[in-house]
């Protein structure tokens, strides 16, 4: 039996020191997972349980970035306030549901640097109207993701500077230790809502300092121990 049209190809993310690609199944994102960022967005982090949204897993949305390579991101349509958000990305290598916090690391394949690019004006408009965020978060070229470094090479990544520059100027700088919900807690919580599968990516939230970029700007995103983008 054939398909009525060619099915979507699986997007693969480069893996450090490997010829293999990591096949992406879903992209889960955690909202407001750094206290200082929650405050700059007008929320009290002490009262916010973790919440999740998704980005598309297609080739139009994901932008794999090989180590040392620069990529061009088209300025998105229907926005005048296009924001950068650097995030630690967790790649799931073993599925499961109702995963215990102490077992979460067993489900991690590796880590990467990612950008949750955001049409902030559209996101804020949807927020004000009590509507879903997809129009501000889930658009073409909204998820640049760097090489995935296996956990066997990094160990559990519970600390490390997270840093983004725009045109050489630091705009975001924090540490993974400042996550409100740790990587293990995020995996455990998410697995009570969805059965996680191999190939899932979790974007764990962005620190303070988010801001607009315009055509011609150059961003560099780094997390200690991982490949930069």
Range of the domain at 106: 12-223
Q: Match 């955001």 to its residue by tokens.
A: 118
Domain contains 4: no
The total domain count for the chain is 1
Domain contains 88: yes
CATH of the domain at 67: 3.90.850.10
Mean pLDDT of 160-181: 96
The residues near 40 (Cβ < 8 Å, ≥ 6 apart) are 208, 209, 210
Mean pLDDT of 195-223: 97
Domain contains 229: no
Query: DSSP states of 70-130 as a string?
Result: ----PPPTT-S-EEE-EEEEEEE-S-BSS--GGGGGGGEEEEEEEE--EEHHHHHHHHHTT
Q: Check residue 64 and give its pLDDT.
A: 96
Confidence band of 163 (pLDDT split at 50, 70, 90): very high
Residue 177 has pLDDT above 90, yes or no: yes
Q: Give the whole-number percent of the chain exceeding pLDDT 70.
A: 94
Domain contains 6: no
Q: Check residue 178 and give its pLDDT.
A: 94
Give the global pTM: 0.95
Give the span between the Cα atoms of 43 and 45, in whole angstroms.
6
- What is the overall mean pLDDT for the chain? 94
pLDDT per residue over 211-228, tens digit each? 999 999 999 999 999 999
Signed CA dihedral, 215, 147, 112, 159: sign only = negative
Domain contains 82: yes
Residue closest to 224 by CA, chosen among 168, 173, 169: 173
pLDDT per residue over 27-75, tens digit each? 999 988 987 655 665 666 665 678 899 999 999 999 999 988 899 999 9
């Amino acid at each position: 039996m054939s398909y009525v049209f060619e099915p979507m190809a699986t997007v693969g993310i480069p893996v450090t020191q490997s010829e293999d690609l990591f096949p992406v199944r879903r992209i889960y994102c955690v909202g407001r997972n750094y206290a200082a960022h929650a405050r700059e967005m007008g929320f009290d982090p002490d009262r916010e349980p973790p919440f999740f949204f998704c980005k598309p897993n297609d080739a139009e949305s994901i932008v794999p970035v090989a180590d040392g390579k620069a990529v061009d991101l088209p300025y998105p349509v229907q926005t005048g306030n296009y924001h950068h958000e650097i995030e630690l990305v967790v790649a799931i290598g073993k599925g499961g549901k109702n995963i215990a916090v102490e077992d979460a690391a067993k489900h991690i394949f590796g880590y990467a640097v990612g950008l949750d690019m955001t049409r902030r004006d559209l996101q804020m408009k949807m927020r004000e109207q009590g509507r879903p965020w997809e129009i501000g978060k889930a658009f073409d070229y909204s998820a640049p993701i760097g090489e995935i470094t296996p956990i066997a090479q990094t160990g559990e990544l519970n600390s490390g500077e997270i840093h983004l520059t725009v045109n050489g100027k630091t705009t975001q700088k924090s540490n993974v230790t400042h996550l409100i919900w740790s990587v293990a807690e995020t995996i455990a919580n998410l697995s009570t809502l969805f059965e996680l599968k191999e190939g899932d990516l979790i974007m764990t939230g962005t620190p303070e300092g988010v801001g607009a970029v315009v055509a011609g700007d150059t961003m560099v995103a780094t997390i200690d121990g991982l490949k930069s983008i």
